[in-house]
Structures are given as structure tokens and as C-alpha cells.
Chains A and B, each alone.
Chain A
Amino acid sequence: MANLTHPAKPAKSFDFYSTDPTSHVDGHHDTGTMLGFWIYLMSDSLIFGILFAIYAVLGTNYAAGPAPADLFEIKKILLATFFLLFSSITYGFAVINMQQGKERQMTTWLLVTGAFGIAFLVMELLEFQHLWHLGAGPGASAFLSSFWFLVGTHGLHVLSGTIWLAVLLVQVQKHGLNEDNKRRILCLSLFWHFLDLIWIGVFSFVYLTGVLL
């Protein structure tokens, strides 16, 4: 209807984002990359949603093997949760410093974020190693298959984010804080906070609920 009443601007209805820089609060959004990346994250959350659904269906099929209460060490999970939470706020500080053009402070905060990311990954690897030695590998039961699949996929995402962060730091060192690098840092910011958000679902649903049931 809006098109019919405004025949002078027919192309407007096909614009998913404005190409007019003055209409935006933020010039970085003009290319549409941020919205595209956001939609990628939404499709990624569908993947995680399906993995959560699989875990919900199979999570109590222990096949006479170990149950969550025998395997999970909640205190270590709490520590890993805080590593991710700290990495979220330090990435936020990096973005604020980036907006203010403070490249050195931004780099420092990104390095801190990466360190927390690596700390989280080390915790996860130690847990997987522990489970493997107990004979609780992904082949032991349907519960463990769905657990390794869900938590492993999240861990692979964190690993990808950490590698991406390292690559970005090299790019910032080489080319400085130009528009392209700023856009990339904002995309990784969305990715990083998104992984922390998925982890809320993992610790609530898999670890805490698993131990209680």
C-alpha cells in the first residue's frame, strides 16, 4: 500500500537497509554487512536449537552408562562460565575503545578477551579428556553422543572466534584501525557475545539440569 501512495519512490520497498548515510546513526552499517552477519547468527542459532532439541530428546538415554551426576564437575563449569562472561565484557571495552579511536587500548582488551577465550577452551578440553578417560566418549550412549555434539559444536565456535580474533589483531597491526577492520571487529563482537548467549543455554540445560535430574 505504501508503494501505491508513494509512486515517486518505487525502489524503496526493496531496500533492506538504507543506503543514505545521513539517515543512519552509524556509518559502519551502510554496507549491510552487520545485518547480513546478524542473519548468519540467527541461522547459527537454529543449528544450536536443533542440537538442544536432540539433547532434550536423547539426554536421559544413558544405555546403562554414566549419567550427568556421575560425570559433570559443576564448580569447573562455573569457572568456565565466568571465563566466557569476563571475555564478553572485555570485548565490550575493546569496542568502546575502538569507537574512540584508541587503537592501543583496544588491542590490549582484545588480547585479554582472547586469553579468556583460550582459558575457556582449555577448561573444555580438560573436561573432554577427563570424560574420554572415564570411557564416556561420544559412542558410549545416546546421552553422551548428543552431549559431545552440542558442547563440541559450541567449543568449535569459540575456537573459530579465537582464531578470527588472532587474525584480526594481525590485520589491525598491519593496516591500522581502518573502516574495514572496524566493521570486522564489530562482526566478531556480535559473534563473541552470541557464543556467550548460547553458553547460557548449555550450562542451564545440560549441566545444571543434568545434575539435578
Chain B
Amino acid sequence: MTTQDHDEHEAHGSYRSYFIGFGLSVVLTLIPFWIVLSEVEINLWLALTIIFGLGAVQIMVHVSYFLHVTVKAEEGWQVMSMVFTGILLLIVLVGSIWVMTHLNNNMMPAHDQIDRVRELQ
């Protein structure tokens, strides 16, 4: 019975794991907000990389410390469905952004293109 209690405790986290997750989340939230609020002199792309990088790390912190996703939970089905969803999201997001920005660029008439059309008239 005591081992089962211990296991249940582990399955849904302990005060310690919640505090670790919370502490990490606070740091990972404050850094990107500080970059924007302090208007620190920083390269735009570096700032965006930091914001997205820390956001991704914070998502992983939430998944492991708050949602308690482990490889063993639900005999692996939980992590497998999560990886599957992640792949779908990657395809949808990267695909949409890639295709639509190219489409936007191609729909914008460049100056030389406008001139060429004028010459035809």
C-alpha cells in the first residue's frame, strides 16, 4: 500500500516538482517580457529567437512538471499522441507560413514589372 501511495504521488506530482516547474516558468516568462518592456538595444532577430526559444522551453517545462507527461504514462500512448500532434502542428504551421509568405511576395508587383506592363501599352 505504501509503495502504491508513493507511485500515485509521483504520477501527479509533488509540491517540490510543482515549485520547480513554477520557478522555471517565472524565469522563462520574465526574460522575454523584460526584453520587450526594457526596450533594451538588441538585434530584432536575436530578440525574436530568445522569445521563441524560451517559449518553447517553457512549453516543455509545463508538459513535464504540470501535465506530467512521461514516456511510461498510459503505456506510451500519451507521449505518442503528443509527438504525433506535434508533427501535425509543425506541418500546418511551417507549411502555412512558408507557402503564404511566398505567395504574398509573388502577388506584390515589383517596380520593374510595373514598368514592363507600362511599356506594353
Interface residues of A (CB under 8 A from B): 16-18, 25-26, 29, 34-35, 38-39, 42, 45-46, 49-50, 52-54, 56-57, 74-75, 77-78, 81-82, 85, 88-89, 92-93, 95-96, 99, 186, 189-190, 193-194, 196-197, 200-201, 203-205, 208-209, 211-213
A88 touches which of B22, B37, B78, B101 (Cβ 8 Å): B22
Across-interface contacts of A88 in B (CB, < 8 A)? 22, 25, 62, 66
Question: Is there contact, CB below 8 Å, between A95 and B48?
Answer: no
Known: A42-B85, A74-B33, A95-B13. A17 touches B62 (CB 8 A): no
Known: A17-B74, A204-B32, A212-B47. 12 other contacts (CB 8 A): A26-B8, A35-B77, A49-B89, A56-B100, A74-B36, A78-B33, A88-B25, A194-B67, A197-B59, A200-B29, A200-B62, A205-B55
Question: Is there contact, CB below 8 Å, between B89 and A208?
Answer: no
Across-interface contacts of A213 in B (CB, < 8 A)? 44
The answer for the CA separation of A178 and B21 in the assembled complex, in Å, is 29
Question: In this complex, what residue of A is CB-closest to B91?
Answer: A49
Question: Is there contact, CB below 8 Å, between A57 and B97?
Answer: yes
Known: A46-B89, A78-B33, A209-B48. A38 touches B78 (CB 8 A): yes
Across-interface contacts of B71 in A (CB, < 8 A)? none
- Interface of B, secondary structure class, is helix
The answer for the CA separation of A203 and B15 in the assembled complex, in Å, is 27
Q: How large is the interface on B (under 10, 10 to 19, 20 to 34, 35 or more residues)?
A: 35 or more
Known: A25-B7, A204-B32. A35 touches B97 (CB 8 A): no
The answer for the CA separation of A205 and B74 in the assembled complex, in Å, is 32
B29 touches which of A39, A81, A197 (Cβ 8 Å): A81
Question: Is there contact, CB below 8 Å, between A57 and B96?
Answer: yes
Question: Is there contact, CB below 8 Å, between A204 and B51?
Answer: yes
A-B pairs with beta carbons under 8 Å apart, 29 shown: A26-B11, A26-B12, A34-B74, A35-B74, A38-B78, A42-B85, A46-B92, A49-B89, A52-B93, A53-B93, A53-B96, A54-B96, A56-B96, A57-B100, A82-B29, A85-B26, A89-B21, A93-B15, A96-B14, A186-B12, A193-B62, A197-B66, A200-B29, A203-B29, A203-B33, A208-B36, A208-B51, A212-B48, A212-B51
